[in-house]
Amino acid sequence: MEESYAPATGRTLQTNDSVTLEDVARLAGVTAMTVSRTLKRPELVREETRLRVMDAVRATGYVPNLLAGALATNKSHLIALLLPTIATSIFTDMVQTMMSTLAAAGYQTLLGLTDYLKEREEQLVETLLGRRPDAIVLTGTDHSPLTRERLRRTKVPIVEIWDLTDDPIDMLIGFSHEAVGIAVARHLLQKDYRRFAVLSADDPRGLRRSTSFIDELKRQGIESVPMEVLPAPATLQTGREGFVRLLEKDLPDVIVCSTDTLAQGILAEAAKRGIGIPQDVAVMGFGDLSTAAHVHPSLSTVRIDGASIGRLAAEALVSRLNAKEPPLPALRVDTGFRIVDRESA
């Protein structure tokens, strides 16, 4: 018997350095099963054996193989998060909060970056599904048909965040980008601005905010609104360039930016050219509550609360994963936004 175990290395042996439950068990003089229980459900094991096992665990430096565990239980404790990019500060707060909330509940995050490309998202969904995540978080609500189909068929809980829609795949937590555009338009009109310009990154949601803003202005009788669109992700540099291009046209009263980073770029270029913000031209940004450029005194912004989105999404998932049978009524949350005026008048 011993013989058939020890030299049972007809294969590689050097599988790695991995210590297995078996190894620990042998050292502790028990079965693998007892070691497993000691680690997962210690209350089911007599104290004496438990201590012996724990010693053996330490002595061997055993690290449980989560792959094997996941395969056996059909629970990976992995959450897939699909994000356009981390090259912009807009998502960072949400990601941090979501990851730490999930981590606290015992879940790890598998990150996929789509670069705002639907085809990339499609491919990532396939790969990530292969890891059998316990849930999937998608940024935005606009996905390729194949992606939607794959995701709909899956029983894996899905959360779409950062946007709203009438036809979510499953759960939904976000805010309306159309509403942002409209609110900004009304806010600025009320402040007596009349000559507008728009600087937008060409990501889908930024564009929707921008066009919604322009549409609302039209409805209010403002016909001509110059708009510059620059490639995503937005950077300080593209903000500066966009500002330069806008300057080639008439100088407006106020420039509305699809995101804070662009607004900061404008501030930088304006400083260089001696253009006063907000005296010569006012600037409006858009960004996260905690990391946003609203801390620049001369900038007005739309603030969204990314941390809330992250926390809500994580909590919704965790409770759904813990819940046994009833697949709770689908969650839909509008997290809203707030317009904040600049500090200096």
Query: Could you tell which of its own copies, DNA, none binds residue 272, using a CB distance below 5 to 8 A set by kind?
Result: its own copies
Structure token digits, residue 156: 């894996």
Listing from the earlier edge strand, what are the strands of the sheet with 299-304? 227-230, 196-201, 254-257, 282-288, 299-304, 338-340
Tell me: does residue 210 bind its own copies (CB under 8 A).
no
The site partner of 22 among DNA, its own copies, none (C-beta below 5 to 8 Å per kind) is DNA
Nearest distance from C-beta of residue 198 to its own copies, angstroms: 21
Is 100 an interacting residue with respect to its own copies (CB under 8 A)?
Answer: yes
235 binds its own copies per the rule CB under 8 A: yes
Single-letter code of the amino acid located at 320: R
Q: Which partner, its own copies, DNA, none, binds residue 44 by CB below 5 to 8 Å per kind? A: DNA
CB 292 within 8 A of CB 260: yes
Q: Which region among 2-10, 14-22, 31-39, 137-145 touches its own copies (by CB under 8 A)?
A: 14-22
The encoded tokens of residue 21 equal: 């439950």
Interface with DNA in residues 39-58 (CB under 7 A): 39-40, 44-46, 48-50
Degrees, nearest 5: CA angle 94-98-100: 120
Rounded to the nearest angstrom, the gap between the alpha carbon of residue 90 and the centroid of all alpha carbons in its chain is 10
Q: How far apart are CA 162 and CA 227, in angstroms?
A: 24
| Site membership for its own copies, residue 9 (CB under 8 A) | no
Between helices 32-40 and 47-60, what is the axis angle to 10°? 100
Any contact of residue 279 with DNA (CB under 7 A)? no
Radius of gyration of the chain (CA): 27
Angle at 174 between CA 170 and CA 179, to 5 degrees: 125
Reduced to 3 states (helix: H, G, I; strand: E, B; else coil), residue 290 is: coil
Which residue lies nearer to DNA by CB, 105 or 111? 105
- 325 touches DNA by CB under 7 A: no
Q: Is 319 in the site for its own copies (CB under 8 A)?
A: no
Say whether residue 165 binds its own copies (CB under 8 A).
no
Residues 262-281: x/- map of binding to its own copies (CB under 8 A)?
--xx-xxx-xx---------
Contact 301, 334 (CB under 8 A): no
Q: Does 76 interact with its own copies (rule: CB under 8 A)?
A: yes
Site for its own copies in 15-44 (CB under 8 A): 15-18
Footprint on this chain of DNA (rule: CB under 7 A): 8, 10-12, 15-16, 18, 20-22, 30-34, 36-37, 39-40, 44-46, 48-50, 64-65, 68-69, 71-74
